[in-house]
Amino acid sequence: MMFGFKVRQVACGILAAMAISTVNSFAVTSQFRGVNWADKRDNFVSDVLVLSGLSLSDNYQSASVAAERVIGQFQELFGTNSVRMPVNEPTVLKAFDMYSGALDVALKHGRLVMGYWGPAQPSGPKNMDDWWKMWAKIIEKYGDHPNAYFEIFNEPHMYSKDELHNLYATWLEKFPNVPRDHILLDGSGLAWNVPDIADDPRFEGCLFAVHEYTFWNMSITTEQGWKNSFKGKVGKYIDRTVCTEWGGAMSPGDKAGVHYDYMDYNSTPTNYFMAYIRGMSDQLREWEMGSFYWPGLRDGDWYSMTKRTGEGANIKLEIVNQSGVDRMKMAWADTVETDPPEREAYEGKMAVIPGKIEAENYDVGGNRFTFYDKDSENQGKAYREDAVDIESIDDAACGTVSCKGYALGYTQSGEWLEYSVNVESDAELTLTANVATASETAGFQLFMDGKAITDSIKVAKIDTTWKVYKEIEIGTVKLEKGEHVLRILITGAYVNIDWLQFTDPNTTRVESRPISREVHLSRLGSETLKVFSMTGRFLGNVNPQGPAAASIEASLKAAGFANGVYLVRGAGVTRRIQVR
């Protein structure tokens, strides 16, 4: 937000002229119940940001203490679970040790949106190399934090539509491991045109940010007028949009030569401020859209919801206008009376690791909670009755045999599924997957508790149809013992996933087959065979060559194995072999 900046005096004529249709849709961004914490000078500064209550003399510890007081009181006074804080190049590249003290406290208390503010100028960042270095440093520290969200560019009015699209696309290419649903893209202009950017397929899975203020059109004097104005800025993208700024006068002040005293926003409107606050809060609640009021705290700002006294550990926040707080809290989507979603493992059984995870057995809970699918219909029309696309694979080939069961299909980039898992012990496990694709760009990535455990896995084209499945070796992953949530994120569309297999290379499962003495090598392959004890301890390799190759038992004897029962693995098959 920047009061007095000339571009904000421009009326939104184009948007006001947009046809507004009734959309029976609801947002899935209700996880954000937040306020902005801002610099007294506004956040459009060319030097280090100094949020109200912080100082340039702060270090990590003192910044943490001040942030604990500010954000803690946001929670106590308002019930927030999120805060939006600015970042810029000088702050991150020169004062990050100090500023991260405040950011870390915000992440401890809930969700944090870190949004880039440039200097107050009609052009972009002064130095794009510094801009990229800033984001690289932020993503390195916070990119895999489950509470961290990244708003790439606050109010990018200096870019044309094409320039803005390309800037966002380049950012996404540079930081591919950041979950798409933790990235916010501001609408064009002053974040007042979401439809201008939202139809770009490169932005699949990302959230969008919108702003709305009275000073863009002070001629609107009715609640419905403000609701219509806001609808024009969001368009049909309600379900992926967060209102990261909206706010009005809370203290007495003057605007356009008119003095405004304290206003009761719980009463019938008598001016455009009151109509705006009531209309916006009604529309946000109706859509169940997450939002951040501007500002929760900014010293000297008559829009500020609180007034600050004291410094450091003695900071105290006082509510300025209780009726404004009432409307802000009413607007927050997750205060709508709905049954909160609950996570449950499929059929109440957590998947065990090491072991196999069937892709179709994702957790029960709902869209945007335990899975994300971009449409509301199961395109495969099999197995489950929700939005995830599951298809039968009984008519497909899995190697040299027919497949059985179901697989995830019709996948789109940005979609994801989650699985409650129980890892039996700390281990480094090998990972394989059974997949199908006729696409050249298919891929997926795995996360555990929000942290990436693999890079993006590119799946090469397997067949001209999606009816041929192939086991692919992904590599090794290190997992910690305990209960976790595993996420499969689709990074390249049109990959079908049948299952994932986590295997401990130092152990092997015993198949329920009789002990064999004369199992010929043709059934296990002719490559080097691995030999394990019956407890799964690796004992060594056997190279079946020459006369000893007549049987596995003969090969074991020739290699010096004593009489007993062993597990022998080759060509993906394990057998129990008795040596006498």
Average pLDDT, 10 consecutive residues per value, the chain (580 residues) = 34 33 51 96 95 97 98 95 97 97 96 93 87 98 94 96 97 94 96 95 94 89 95 94 97 93 94 96 93 97 97 96 94 59 89 95 87 85 93 92 94 93 94 95 94 93 95 93 96 96 72 39 57 65 58 77 74 67
Enumerate the domain spans of the chain: 6-335, 346-503, 521-579
Q: How far is CA 26 from the centre of its chain?
A: 19
Question: Cα separation of 413 and 188, whole Å?
Answer: 23
CB of 214 closer than 8 Å to CB of 246: no
DSSP state for residue 51 in the 8-state scheme: B
Residues counted in the chain: 580
Classify domain 6-335 at the CATH class level. Answer: alpha beta
Those residues with Cβ within 8 angstroms of residue 244's Cβ, 6 or more apart along the chain or in another chain? 36, 84, 113, 115, 151, 154, 184, 186, 191, 209, 210, 211, 291, 292
pLDDT value, residue 509 = 44
Other CB atoms closer than 10 Å to residue 393's CB: what's the count? Answer: 25
3-state secondary structure 440-505: CCCEEEEEECCEECCCCEECCCCCCCCCEEEEEEEEEEEECCEEEEEEEEEEECCCEEEEEEEECC
pLDDT value, residue 60 = 97
Tell me the residue type at 83. V
pLDDT value, residue 542 = 78
Let me know if 132 is exposed, middle or buried by CB neighbors in 10 A (0-12, 13-18, 19+). Answer: middle
* In 203-327, beta strands by DSSP E: 207-212, 241-246, 253-255, 258-260, 291-297, 306-309, 316-319
Q: Which tokens in the block code for residue 102?
A: 């405040």
CB of 292 closer than 8 Å to CB of 328: no
CATH 3.40.50.620 fits 346-503, yes or no: no
pLDDT value, residue 567 = 73
Secondary structure element (H or E) that encloses residue 171, with its range: helix 161-174
Question: Cα separation of 379 and 365, whole Å?
Answer: 19
pLDDT value, residue 548 = 41
CB of 385 closer than 8 Å to CB of 457: no
pLDDT value, residue 565 = 72
- Residue closest to 369 by CA, chosen among 410, 330, 331, 338: 338
